[in-house]
Structure 1
């Protein structure tokens, strides 16, 4: 595949002509059609912790894959954000298992066989990532690459120029770089709240608290968002010492007084 292509497709040209992040409807289906992709997702980085927040995903498979990457903290999306360069893996079967050891087998089970991610940003500035699920050919053509690169550049420009995309609730609220302004407008608001609660419970940094939350979600085979909601609802509590945990749970995360509600299904999905 060539690295550059000078001409975008007519379909992508029309998408870019009509691109308005604050317009009505969900633009992701039209992006997927123009790219000839199995799915498309736009994820923004929000808050002081630069947490990836899904804005638009199509179809549901894209949303599930984004949630998987967020739960595990690994995959082409996080790598693209970290490096600032596109991560092109149209055939995940060819990726070394040690690169994304937890993600690869689960992605295959979901039905995701190829992913290409394009970071949104300029230089050291990162505002998000455009994720493209590849089609059954397990490849990305020069035309698809050119179209995806053009879309990523247009989205970057729109966000940096102050275009404020609607959040998932459709209320039009937005903060800097298009991030939803209030916690209630965030798809992952519970994760932000739970991370803060775990930070207090364990006396650790927010970064360490998020790692603990992810470890519990992965170890119990549950989506991160579901585990976070249990923490916020006080059905699940993280504790400082394993010795104090009557359940012998390696994360030290279930209620320690035996009087409150426990994690549903014993903490397992």
Structure 2
């Protein structure tokens, strides 16, 4: 989903392999989840489709996780804007067994619950909703903090800083989240990302 600044932030992922898959998709910047969120349409991608439509994501997904297919369902969150939920499959043929209508109904229920929580929960504008304070969203918010820091230090646009961060992560075979954590911890400098 998107935060108040319109930045993509995951709410959570389970099991651990799904969390890795989400971080990889964010690192490469493209994939089924972003497509479902951007288009508002469900995305069904078996391994062949992943390699054809998102070759970089498919390569890292297959190398780092047991997943071979992804179904991404768009969520309509009302005031919070678009979001998506990913379902990962270990075997491409398992996508055929997915009841599309049930999956879409679950997606609508999740979207409705999140929308209701956004409308009816009491939270301050400074703190934001409680779900943004879990470990998964906090890890991504640290990436966005790092992007702002890199942009300021290198005097570049934040979009360019994100590209540099992602490129460094991809080149090193790690996630953008890991590179950002190192930068924020002082283990590496913004200039190391270099244009």
Class of the TM-score when normalised by the shorter of the 2 chains: 0.7 to 0.9
Range moving further from structure 2, 115-124 or 197-206? 115-124
Q: Larger Rg: 1 or 2?
A: 1
User: Match for residue 56 of structure 2?
Assistant: 102
User: Match for residue 214 of structure 1?
Assistant: 166
Count residues with an aligned counterpart. Answer: 187
Query: In proportion to residue count, which structure has more helix?
Result: 2
Give yes or no for contact 2:183–2:189 (8 Å, CA) kept in 1. yes
Q: Does 1:189 align with 2:157?
A: no
Alpha-carbon distance in structure 2 between the residues aligned to 1:182 and 1:189: 11
Q: Does 1:87 align with 2:43?
A: yes
Q: Do the aligned partners of residues 210 and 137 (structure 1) sit closer, same or farther apart at CA in structure 2, a change above 3 Å counting?
A: closer
Alpha-carbon distance in structure 1 between the residues aligned to 2:115 and 2:109: 10
Give yes or no for contact 1:81–1:119 (8 Å, CA) kept in 2. yes
RMSD after superposition: 2.9
Q: Do the aligned partners of residues 143 and 112 (structure 1) sit closer, same or farther apart at CA in structure 2, a change above 3 Å counting?
A: closer
Deviations 1:95-151 (A, max 9, x none): 264521211122122221111000111689734211111353624347521221011
Match of 2:74 among 113, 119, 123: 119
Q: Which runs of 4+ in 1 moved over 3 A?
A: 122-127, 181-185
Task: Work out which structure has the larger RCO, using CA pairs closer than 8 Å and 6 or more positions apart in sequence.
Answer: 2
Give yes or no for contact 1:84–1:119 (8 Å, CA) kept in 2. yes
Q: Does 1:228 align with 2:180?
A: yes
Give yes or no for contact 1:119–1:130 (8 Å, CA) kept in 2. yes
What is the CA-CA distance between 1:85 and the residue it aligns to?
A: 0.7
Match of 2:108 among 135, 149, 153: 153
Match of 2:31 among 51, 56, 75: 75
Give 5+ residue unaligned stretches, structure 2: 120-126
Q: Do the aligned partners of residues 135 and 127 (structure 1) sit closer, same or farther apart at CA in structure 2, a change above 3 Å counting?
A: same
TM-score normalised by L of structure 2? 0.82
Give 5+ residue unaligned stretches, structure 1: 1-43, 165-173, 240-248, 254-269
TM-score normalised by L of structure 1? 0.61
Alpha-carbon distance in structure 2 between the residues aligned to 1:61 and 1:103: 15
Q: Does 1:50 align with 2:7?
A: yes
